Amino acid sequence: MFAGIVKFVLLASCVQAGNACKHNTIDQPVFREDSSMINNVTPTELTTNPWLSYYYNSQQQGRSPAGNRGSGDDQRIENRAVFSIPSMFPNRLFGNGNIANPFIFNPRSLFGKSSSSAVFPYDSCSSPNGVMGICATSGTCNQISGTASGSCAFGTVCCINIATNCGGTVSLNNTYWQSPTTGISSSTTSCALTIKLDTKLTEQPKPICQVRLNFVQFTIAQPDAQSLCTNGDFFDVGGQTNKVPTLCGDNEGQHMYLNVPSSATSPTDLELAFTFGATGATRVWNIMISMLPCEANYLAPPDCLQYFPSRSGRVSSFNWRDVAGMGTRQLANQDYSICFRRTSSNTGRLCFTPCVTVNQLAFGVSVANTIANAPAKQIGVSQGISTDCNNDFLVIPGAFDPASPTLLVANMAFDRFCGERLNPRPNNAASVTVCTMTTPFRIAYQTNGDETTTPSTDQVGNGNRGFCLNFQQ
């Protein structure tokens, strides 16, 4: 008899919701970066798939169903609507429970003061053109000045939220912060946005422990001749617990994770801020803000500014781009780790191969100015000795050339790489594939503040481009 009641309730809910039963699950695919791709979407329009092509891989799995979390390659962002039976959970699905019509949806349960809440609000959703949003009633979407695009369960819509102001505050998941539609005037010195994290907010029913920033678009002034951002335009973040470097230049396709204490115990205000110098450079950005719950199995590991959950992809230093004519693109004062999720089918090896480029070096990390190595000896080759990589370097723990796995070189540190070629062999003019079997898979990038035209510790003209590497497990 109970089974018959359940079938009746399910049938009735489908009749009331129309086609909702066909669309009550919207999967958000796994993150994937490809910094080589250029996004040409203007910051204020929502065109077909403006950024998903290099952030998401629709062929990869995501979050696993309940009871099977973390298995295989599952990395789905939490976005599934939960179905409840009204007689069993009246306050979870139907607001305060309308006896006369138990299928009435209570819009106040989204952002109102009602203590009850529906099961679909706040869930992530994807519009038909690939833009991320949250599920909401059409009325609520209008109230928060969102744009309805696509549908969620029970007649709700996928609400796209965009902020284009300076000095505002956002608390909604999947919000896009875009540069002002009127542009940045010459008198504007800064533009900031506050991200409020607090479980007391109705729109954040789950404690948040990380925020991921996806740089859909990011173009401000290039660093100065010393590779410093702080003498012109720069972007920085405040309020997080992990170290985040100051950025400038071009960073489309990049991302970063911001760690915060659980918003259930320590509400946090994060601040994203652009500061502008006197230069008349083009300034445009579109940053997607994703709030990741503490219980999620797709959080980045501790102290990882960037995290790649897929088995293959592309990783590059901030401001690396294959364009002609730029004297320096490596940013000074960088110090962060990049992590890679070990897939279930992995054999225990992660390999890096320099990207194929036309205009820029795929690997160019400036070397130390040591007496034992003349500048001419270091141009176009890998590091000479281990101390060449004291100041600027990429660390690949336990790295080796798979073509010569038993290679041993006296005084050679196999974990640090610099110079203009990626190669564990000293003074070598060819880049090679470099692999590591050291787990957890993690690499580290560091540059100092001495990238000047008359350096005291770094050689001029050597490196200063950063890196672009294809990775494969």
Contact 173, 160 (CB under 8 A): no
- Last residue within a domain, chosen from 262, 279, 308: 308
Would residue 9 count as lying in a domain? Answer: no
Q: What confidence score (pLDDT) does residue 326 get?
A: 61
- Residues in contact with 189: Cβ distance below 8 Å, sequence separation at least 6, in sequence order: 275, 276
Q: Are 145 and 240 in contact (CB under 8 A)?
A: no
How far from 58 is each of 8, 61, 62, 78, CA to CA, in Å?
Answer: 35, 8, 9, 16
List the alpha helices (DSSP H) in 128-213.
Answer: 138-143
Look at residue 109 in the predicted model and tell me its pLDDT: 34
The amino acid occupying position 94 is: F
Which tokens go with 397? 């723990």
What's the structural domain count of the chain?
2
Residues 256 and 372 occupy one common structural domain: no
Tell me what the pLDDT averaged over the chain comes to: 75
Q: What is the mean pLDDT of residues 406-415?
A: 56
**Nearest partner of 85 among 71, 76, 97, judged by Cα:** 97
Q: Would 4 be classed as within a structural domain?
A: no
| Residue type at 290 in one-letter notation | S
**Distance between CA atoms of 192 and 175, rounded to whole angstroms?**
15
Residue closest to 273 by CA, chosen among 220, 235, 216: 235
Which of 308, 327, 344 is the C-terminal boundary of a domain? 308
- pLDDT higher at 278 or 51: 278
Q: What's the pLDDT band for 95 if we cut at 50, 70, 90?
A: very low
Residues 219 and 261 grouped into a single domain: yes
Task: State whether 260 and 396 are in the same domain.
Answer: no
Given a contact cutoff of 8 angstroms between Cβ atoms, the answer to whether 370 and 386 are in contact is no
My answer on whether 272 and 334 are in the same domain is no
More confident: 193 or 140: 193
Same domain (yes/no): 304, 315: no
Do 387 and 432 lie in one domain? The reply is: yes
For residue 343, what are its two tokens?
């897939």
**pLDDT band for position 460 (cuts 50, 70, 90):** low
pLDDT 10s digits, 23-71: 333 333 333 333 333 333 333 333 333 333 333 332 222 222 233 333 3
- What is the structure's pLDDT at 77? 33
pLDDT tens-digit map of 103-115: 233 333 334 333 3
Are 204 and 122 in contact by the 8 Å Cβ rule? The answer is: yes
- Encode pLDDT of 109-166 as tens digits: 334 333 333 345 788 999 999 999 999 999 999 998 999 999 998 889 999 999 999 9
Contacts of 109 (CB under 8 A, 6+ apart): 95, 116, 117, 118, 121, 202
Which residue has tokens 């789905």? 76
Q: Do 324 and 287 share a structural domain?
A: no
Does 57 map to a domain?
A: yes
Q: Among residues 123, 109, 110, which one has the least CA distance to residue 174?
A: 123
Query: Does any domain span residue 326?
Result: yes
CATH number for position 40: 2.60.120.290
Which residues are CB-contacts of 99 (< 8 A; sequence separation ≥ 6)? Answer: none
The mean pLDDT of 354-373, rounded to a whole number, is 82
DSSP 453: S
Q: Which domain holds residue 334?
A: 311-473
Whether residue 124 is found in the same domain as residue 245: yes
Task: Using the structure block, give the residue that is written with the tokens 């956002």.
Answer: 170
365 domain residue, yes or no: yes
More confident call, 413 vs 61:
413
Domain contains 93: yes
Looking at the structure, do residues 349 and 445 belong to the same domain, yes or no?
yes
How far apart are alpha carbons 118 and 148 in whole angstroms? 18
Is position 7 within any domain? no
Strands 56-57 and 30-31: antiparallel
**Residues 344 and 428 both lie in one domain:** yes
- Mean pLDDT of the region 407-436: 81
Percent of the residues in the chain that have a pLDDT greater than 70, as a whole number = 67
The predicted-structure confidence for 214-225, as pLDDT tens digits, reads as follows 999 999 999 988
pLDDT at site 117: 36
- What is each CA distance from 187 to 178, 183, 278, in whole angstroms? 19, 11, 9
Do 185 and 95 have their domain in common?
A: yes
**CA 164/CA 43 separation, integer angstroms:** 9
Per-residue pLDDT band for 337 (boundaries 50, 70, 90) equals very high
Q: 282, 308, 334: which is the final residue of a domain?
A: 308
Residue 21 lies in a domain: yes
Residues in CB range of 161: below 8 A, 6 or more apart? 133, 134, 144, 145, 146, 170, 172, 174, 175, 176
- Tell me the per-residue pLDDT of 221-273, one tens digit each, with 9 for 90 and over: 999 888 899 889 999 999 999 999 999 999 999 999 999 999 999 999 999 99
Same domain, 232 and 342: no
Question: In a 10 Å sphere around its CB, with 0-12 CB exposed, 13-18 middle and 19+ buried, how is residue 11 labelled?
Answer: exposed
pTM above 0.85, yes or no: no
For residue 390, what pLDDT is reported?
Answer: 85
